[in-house]
A = this chain, B = another copy of it.
Amino acid sequence: MFVILVYDAGEKRVQKFLKICRKYLVHVQNSVFEGEITEAVLKMLINELKTVINEDEDSVLVYKFRTKKYYERLSLGIDKPSHEKFVF
C-alpha cells in the first residue's frame, strides 16, 4: 500500500512528528511524507502519532492507495528526492 501523509502541528510538537514519521516514511517536503507501508505498520505509525498529537490544534491526513500505479507526481521549486533511503 502506498500512502501520503501530511501534518500540521504546533511548533512544540513539530520535531516529534518529524521524528516519528521519518521512521516509517520518506520525507518529501516540510510536513509531507510518502512511502510503501503495510496496514499493520501504518497502525504502529498512527499509534505513535496519537501519543504526541494535540487533537485540538494539530492535524494529520493520511491518503491510502492500493497501488502506486495510478499516480503521477509533479514538482515545482525545491524538490527533495522521494526515493531517498528510509531513515531509521
Contacts and interface: CB of A to CB of B under 8 A. Distances in A.
A14 to B, nearest CB: 12
Q: Would you call the interface of chain A mostly helix, strand, loop, or mixed? A: strand
Interface string A48-71: 011001111111111111110011
Interface residues of A, number: 37
Nearest to A1: B72
A64 B69 CA distance: 11
A75 B63 contact: no
A26 to B, nearest CB: 12
Interface in A19-67: 28-32, 46, 49-50, 53-67
Interface of A: 4, 6, 8, 28-32, 46, 49-50, 53-67, 70-80
